[in-house]
Structure 1
């Protein structure tokens, strides 16, 4: 692994402008070093692309790499060693699908991020939040109605931790930040995979959410919130939350708030499609499967409304267990209401802005990480190019797939 590579005769696609330039691209020490016609040959691996398209490596801003099953309530009882091995397998598949950076939306921690950064496991760069914060009986509380004892030991696998009250949520947020969280995740409404809440509920009081936002901002981090209904989405945005996950039931006021607050929406259409089609095969309890219809049909309409209103839209998938293999299908779903360029930006330049990594990832700019995707078709003519087999996946200047 040298981090050095020369790509010749490429069509270089800049997602920010939607424009192509033709020429060569040289990577050195894991970064993009120069671009232009006829770059001098160097003693590095050289690939003649013969007109293939080079674009930035893809970014998925809503994954759960430790969710090896759709039965999320079973994860805390699994061995953390087993969950880690499963996560390594999942991350390797994500890299082969062209995703060179992912943002984990609860479950992963510094251990997996460090293992990937040190080359101990193969996978995309991993930005993590640790455990999502949930109220008792909220979307992150996996207990069924008949379960009274809660095991919140933080070495155990699982996606959420329960904290109630302003002091408790401050301490929980500070604890995740202590462990290196890139963002804080909160459950601000009910969800599909939780056993005892309603999708149309709001969760956490305004004071609790405001305290979590304060702690994140004090550490120069931000808060991402799971929220479905307009009531939950709008409330979260008004309280300073920067990233709304899902947002299937948003309204026109939501669009106004996204623009006013320069916030981001991360829809996850593919997970509802996958959960409906095969969720039960991968462990989704029957009670959760019956909730899917409440958000399935509204998701695409929400994306269309937000896109038409100029909201910052970011690519996310939220897939669980064996359904991770559908990760690239989100491109096709969004293309029903967005142009190919808009969808591509959601997985490159706009995603990088959400992650506070503009100029570092999601771009072919000089000095950026040399995370690249080489494809034989034109993704601006057919976004389906991003759902098939790729010619090369490049990470840190090395061809890895």
Structure 2
């Protein structure tokens, strides 16, 4: 995938690589453990080191709190963090012995950023990496952990991973053995045969005929399932492993080899099986889908969130708004000459849909979330922040700052008790989790500050731990 944005859209072509897919999930998990503790100190560009220690308390003095609910910047004040939560906000907060005091110098204190559509493993390596037989599984594990650290250093303190072998990386980060964002994992993407997540190479026949899982399934990248019973099993397997939500492929993709964009995937009974499994675990299903038919079928099955949606018409968007279904949107970059002619042809209508679906969904009152969905282009990952700015032709700075914080956090909240982390995110308020960024300037007045985190983010805190302090 030679393009910055290939929605998982999930890139079947990228996963049809025998070298990487020959690696089993168990050896990948062991590699993550081995990769922890290598590299430089946390917060540097190539780190896979352990997270710093959390102080008993941190006091931000003389900061202006960004109220993302109201789109306002508050008067100078103090913000006290105890443990991993915001304990108090107000001028003159006392600093007990052992409190780490940070002079805000009148700068902006805002919530940590949230990306609602990432693929942490497959966004950290290139196609050349996947075919390089000199690279062992430890390379991929270290690449993912390094990418997670860099993502955190861009101010993204929470992400929703929507397909791939993510559980070992999440475990390492949560245990403090590596630095990275909070992760809401989906686990293996659930796909029908010939669907968007059918990553089999041409020599691999269906498990139904051979009794053998494909290499991608062995890696825990995907489940290829047909019929209600198999969808239930795949859904429950992901939930057993700790999925906070389920990801199903409901329609065709631009990067997958066997499914044209217009096809609809899974019968309504199959889709309902996944929804029922998720509902039994008090969480939800999100689907990869572009077309009206695939999205309407998913909604009829009880799906609560749609990824992408660039081909949706006004009537379907209004129906989504009426039913309270979320649209988790991205902004795909234009076609380029590095893509195959077939892929460029597939993407034309999708790219054109960027400029239509966002304003129409906003007018219709659809619940909106945002994510990047970079895949197999690690060189593009530093553009994670600037991709948000692609939407400012339709959204004010205040609306975009709310989208990337509170609105995205609200979507994460759909996981309910399956959320991996207890507490409120996306706001700077008492009792909220202490995921904070100290910005050198006013992002409401100059949204471009968000696009250069290395220069403009003076402090980055996740879970009460300072990962960057400059």
Q: Does TM, scored on the shorter chain, surpass 0.5?
A: yes
- Displacement of 1:263 in angstroms is 1.7
- Which runs of structure 2 are paired with 1:382-397 in the superposition (5 Å)? 382-389=446-453, 390-397=457-464
- Gap change, CA 1:146 and 1:297, over 3 Å in 2: farther
CA distance in 2, matches of 1:239, 1:304: 26
Q: Which residue of 2 aligns with 1:236?
A: 298
CA distance in 2, matches of 1:340, 1:72: 38
Q: Which residue of 1 aligns with 2:168?
A: 111
- Displacement of 1:196 in angstroms is 1.2
Q: Which residue of 1 aligns with 2:386?
A: 329
- Gap change, CA 1:214 and 1:71, over 3 Å in 2: farther
Deviations 1:80-115 (A, max 9, x none): 543322210111111011100000001143322111
- Which runs of structure 2 are paired with 1:1-400 in the superposition (5 Å)? 1-3=53-55, 4-22=57-75, 23-42=77-96, 43-67=98-122, 68-69=124-125, 71=127, 80-144=137-201, 147-148=204-205, 151-152=213-214, 156-157=218-219, 159-269=221-331, 272-273=332-333, 276-277=335-336, 280=338, 287-321=342-376, 322=378, 323-356=380-413, 360-389=424-453, 390-400=457-467
- Displacement of 1:364 in angstroms is 1.1
8 A Cα contact 2:54 2:466, kept in partner: no
Q: How many aligned residue pairs are there?
A: 393
SS in 1 for 2:290: strand
- Displacement of 1:18 in angstroms is 1.5
More off after superposition, 367-376 vs 348-357: 348-357
SS in 2 for 1:381: coil
Structure 1 unaligned spans of 5+: none
- Displacement of 1:120 in angstroms is 1.1
8 A Cα contact 2:166 2:187, kept in partner: yes
- Displacement of 1:293 in angstroms is 2.2
Deviations 1:17-39 (A, max 9, x none): 21222301011111111111111
CA distance in 1, matches of 2:202, 2:125: 21
SS in 1 for 2:287: strand
- Displacement of 1:170 in angstroms is 0.7
- Gap change, CA 1:72 and 1:266, over 3 Å in 2: farther
Report runs of 4+ in structure 1 exceeding 6 Å deviation: none
- What root-mean-square deviation, in Å, do the aligned CA atoms of Structure 1 and Structure 2 show? 2.4
- Gap change, CA 1:379 and 1:31, over 3 Å in 2: same
SS in 2 for 1:292: helix
- Displacement of 1:70 in angstroms is 5.9
- Displacement of 1:262 in angstroms is 1.5
8 A Cα contact 2:117 2:159, kept in partner: yes
CA distance in 2, matches of 1:137, 1:71: 22
CA distance in 2, matches of 1:333, 1:158: 33
8 A Cα contact 1:360 1:367, kept in partner: yes
SS in 1 for 2:309: strand
SS in 1 for 2:401: helix
Q: Which has the larger radius of gyration?
A: 2
TM-score by length of 1: 0.91
Structure 2 unaligned spans of 5+: 1-52, 208-212, 414-418
8 A Cα contact 2:321 2:365, kept in partner: yes
8 A Cα contact 2:269 2:301, kept in partner: no
CA distance in 1, matches of 2:264, 2:87: 48
More off after superposition, 84-93 vs 56-65: 84-93
8 A Cα contact 2:246 2:285, kept in partner: yes
SS in 2 for 1:353: helix
- Displacement of 1:156 in angstroms is 4.1
- Displacement of 1:74 in angstroms is 5.4
Deviations 1:224-251 (A, max 9, x none): 1001112222221222111111111111
- Gap change, CA 1:71 and 1:82, over 3 Å in 2: same
TM-score by length of 2: 0.78
8 A Cα contact 2:199 2:216, kept in partner: no
CA distance in 2, matches of 1:96, 1:311: 31
SS in 2 for 1:400: strand
